[in-house]
């Protein structure tokens, strides 16, 4: 679905979207939003990796019968 959407939007449409975002949030707020988004993604990935590691540790800690 996303690749279809990206194919439909051309250069002019992307430029218009970027201008609207700049007008709504302002140039100063966008880096803060991107920083927060990046921290959120990193936290999510760390959480997912932590859950995988906890499962591996649980499996090795329990003796098999």
Q: What is the pTM of this model?
A: 0.46
pLDDT at 61 over 70: no
Mean local confidence (pLDDT), 24-45:
88
The CA distance from 3 to 8, in Å, is 9
* Domain locations along the chain: 2-60
Return the SS3 of 63.
coil
pLDDT tens readout for residues 42-59: 999 988 887 666 666 666
**Any idea what the Cα angle at residue 21 is, between residues 19 and 22, rounded to 5°?**
65
């Amino acid at each position: 679905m996303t690749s279809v959407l990206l194919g439909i939007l051309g250069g002019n449409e992307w430029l218009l979207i970027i201008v609207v975002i700049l007008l709504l949030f302002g140039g100063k707020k966008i880096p803060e939003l991107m920083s927060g988004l990046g921290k959120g993604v990193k936290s999510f990935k760390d959480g997912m990796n932590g859950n995988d590691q906890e499962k591996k540790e649980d499996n090795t800690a329990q003796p098999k019968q």
